[in-house]
Amino acid sequence: MQAWVHFAVILSCFGELSVGDNLRFASYYGEHMVLQKAPEKAVVWGYGITGAEVQISLAGPQNEQVKSVPVLDGIWRVILDPVQVGGPYNLTATQRGSKIVLTDVLFGDVWLCGGQSNMAFTLGQVYNASEELAMATKFPNVRVFQAALEMSSVELTDLAGVEVPWSRPTPEILGGKDFTHFSAVCWLFGRYLYESLKYPIGLVESCWGGTPVEAWSSLRALHSCGLKEPESSDEWDKEWNSTVLWNAMIHPLLNMTIKGAIWYQGEANAQYNQDKYSCTFPAMIDDWRMAFHAGSEGQTAPDFPFGFVQLCTYRKVTQDGFPEIRWHQTADYGFAPNERMKKTFMAVAVDLPDESSPWGSIHPRDKQDVAYRLVLGARAKIRATLSSDTFEICCSKEKKPCTSDSQWIPAPMKEQGSDYVLVSIAKCPLENVAALRYAWSDWPCSFKACPIYSADGVLPAPLFIFNRWPTHS
Ligand SMILES: *[C@@H]1O[C@H](CO)[C@@H](O)[C@H](O)[C@H]1NC(C)=O
Ligand SMILES: *[C@@H]1O[C@H](CO)[C@@H](O)[C@H](O)[C@H]1NC(C)=O
Ligand SMILES: *[C@@H]1O[C@H](CO)[C@@H](O)[C@H](O)[C@H]1NC(C)=O
Ligand SMILES: *[C@@H]1O[C@H](CO)[C@@H](O)[C@H](O)[C@H]1NC(C)=O
């Protein structure tokens, strides 16, 4: 696999030429990339000459900033001030006479996509592949990056190779050779997210077919489940070795700021350390969260949203351990999120069998439904953090009906009974509460999670508004 990294390198005429070879960004920063938007701060790092300062500047529509940082042991690192969604920006690194400009940089949400072959399954392999591929260029603000397949027995600082450098989507990039680039689940997840959030989405694919959770786990995580290193035997391929993919394909990414991660894996553990999976999978999630939080100096949330696909079907007549592994994917709770796996979300895929898939029934072609179900979960997590005060009051001294232009303030629910809801009027004096409205926004609640339903919990209440003062006649 040819690993290639693309940089725009401009050397000024008076700089020492040798200097230019030293200044560069880490492998996973490049033109067309998406960096994590505000409120988080994006982390950017690279290489330079020890002792000399590196100047990093960002120039674009809503934000300009310049930072100077020292180079320690050949590495510089910058935490940018928060940048709102949008772009394009230029990100420039200068040191002595050398300059590197990364153009067309966007700010949005960055998601990591991990797992085994059902995550590696490309957009060119899905049902309706030609239609899906033809649509790619309509989503230039959904950008993709993919780590190359590499393994290592030690934790690497940077990726050893890049399969797809940051790119705008094209049919060629999304529909590469089978199981190469680009992940259908990852792409469709990003595209559907974009369709509802309407701001740039950056997708970082780092996955490898046929690999067990142990390969993607650090020693810390394995030890916490009583596993030792290396948990491998000669009958298995090397990429089955414990920690080798964590070391080469996840550890290097810890230093960037991400919004969340999605994961499609488990088949390789249906017959391998299956009984440990209810420990190893949640332990890997905890460990990734801790490590991404630390690696980004606190920018990536310590409990970032983590979505996963509960395995689809494999064979009808044999017993391959799929019910057990599906159960273990939930830490034996049967549902997610749960007490052990907080802030996770799960896409159930058991109703999407594909017996005649050209890639074997273990690789079902309907990735659209899988990705859509993941997006419903992710949206619920993102919306929850954006706060969705579904009730609002109009706080006004004027004795007349309130309109959309009136001052509406959130009225958080304090208590809910079977036939009443108590809301807080917050800082508004009672005599000024002029109206109450419910679900009055384009998107008031996440999937099947509005506050008010019929007594049997099935039918959602529609929006309503009560004005205290009657309309003037
Ligand atoms: C970014 O760099 C490109 C190429 O040098 C230039 O054309 C463009 O004007 C720059 N954009 C900003 C916002 O500075
Ligand atoms: C995988 O494990 C085998 C057996 O323990 C070992 O010989 C090999 O070096 C390991 N490979 C890597 C990449 O760590
Ligand atoms: C990346 O994060 C790791 C883990 O916190 C840290 O040890 C390492 O120094 C960081 N690397 C860079 C280049 O900042
Ligand atoms: C494929 O396209 C057809 C026709 O538009 C549609 O009915 C079907 O749901 C699509 N399949 C998937 C998996 O999206």
> For residue range 318-360, what is the model confidence (pLDDT) as tens digits?
788 999 999 999 999 998 989 999 999 999 999 999 999 999 9
**Which regions of the chain carry the CATH code 3.40.50.1110?**
107-385
pLDDT at 133 over 50: yes
| 3-class SS letters over 411-461 | CCEEEECCCCEEECCCCCCHHHEEEEEECCCCCCCCCCCCCCECCCCCCEC
Q: Which of these ranges, 310-314, 339-343, 379-383, has the smallest mean pLDDT?
A: 379-383
Q: Do residues 368 and 188 lie in contact, with contact meaning Cβ atoms separated by under 8 Å?
A: yes
Output the pTM of the full model.
0.81
Task: Identify the nearest ligand to the CA of 31 by its number.
Answer: 1
162-167 and 142-147 beta bridge pairing: antiparallel
- Residue 114 is predicted with a pLDDT of 98
Higher pLDDT, 9 or 366: 366
3-state secondary structure of 6: coil
Q: Which residues of the chain does CATH 2.60.40 include? A: 2-103
Question: Phi/psi of residue 253, each to 5°?
Answer: -85, -10
Among residues 91, 43, 54, 76, the alpha carbon closest in space to that of 295 is found at 43
The 3-state DSSP class for residue 155 equals coil
What is the number of other CB atoms lying within 10 angstroms of the CB of residue 44?
26
Banded pLDDT at 235 (limits 50, 70, 90): low
What percentage of the chain carries pLDDT values higher than 90?
70
251-270, pLDDT tens digit by residue? 999 999 999 999 999 999 99
Closest-CA residue, ligand 3 atom 5, reads 295
Whether 90 and 59 have beta carbons less than 8 Å apart is answered as yes
Per-residue pLDDT, averaged over 274-281, amounts to 97
Ligand 3 surroundings by CB, under 6 angstroms: 45, 75, 77, 157, 254-255, 294-295
DSSP 3-state assignment of 11? strand
Q: Could you give the CA distance from residue 175 to residue 115 in angstroms, rounded to a whole number?
A: 19
Residue whose token pair is 């700021």: 257
19 pLDDT above the threshold of 90: no
Q: What is the pLDDT of residue 457?
A: 64
- Which residue's C-alpha comes closest to atom 3 of ligand 4? 128
CB 47 within 8 A of CB 180: no
In the reported structure, the alpha carbon of residue 44 is separated from the centroid of ligand 3 by a whole-number distance in angstroms of 11
Smallest-distance ligand from the CA of 352: 4
Q: Which of 128, 132, 191, 366 to mutate to test the pocket of ligand 4 (most atoms within 8 A of CB)?
A: 128
pLDDT band at 236 (very low <50, low <70, confident <90, very high): low
- Beta-strand relationship, 43-47 and 75-79: antiparallel
Q: Which atom of ligand 3 is closest in space to residue 255's alpha carbon?
A: 1
Band of the pLDDT at 386, cuts 50, 70, 90?
very low
The closest of 37, 215, 197, 211 to 120, measured between CA atoms, is: 211
Burial 309-338 (b: 16+ CB within 10 A, else e): bbbbbbeeeeeebbebbbebbbbeeeebbe
| Ligand 1 centroid to residue 8 C-alpha, Å | 12
Q: How far is the centre of ligand 3, averaged over its atoms, from the C-alpha of 123 (Å)? A: 33
**How many angstroms separate the CA atoms of 60 and 340, rounded?**
43
Task: Please report the pLDDT score of residue 12 as a whole number.
Answer: 32
In the predicted model, is pLDDT for residue 38 greater than 50? yes
pLDDT value for 6:
31
Residue 243 confidence (pLDDT) above 90: yes
Answer yes or no: are the C-beta atoms of 99 and 10 closer than 8 Å: yes
Instruction: Decide if pLDDT at 123 tops 90.
Output: yes
65: CA distance to ligand 1 center in Å?
15
Q: Which amino acid is at 382?
A: I
Contact 327, 339 (CB under 8 A): no
Name the class of domain 2-103: mainly beta
* Measured distance CA(30)–CA(226) in Å, rounded: 40
Residue range 399-416: mean pLDDT, rounded: 85
The pick from 238, 239, 245, 247 for probing ligand 2's pocket by mutation, whose C-beta has the most ligand atoms within 8 angstroms, reads 238
Residues flanking ligand 4, CB < 6 Å: 127-128, 366, 368
Choosing among 3.40.50.1100, 3.40.50.11030, 3.30.413.10, 3.40.50.1110, the CATH entry for 107-385 is 3.40.50.1110
Ligand nearest to the CA of 228: 2
Least confident range from 60-64, 229-233, 376-380: namely: 229-233
Q: Which atom of ligand 3 is nearest to the CA of 297?
A: 5
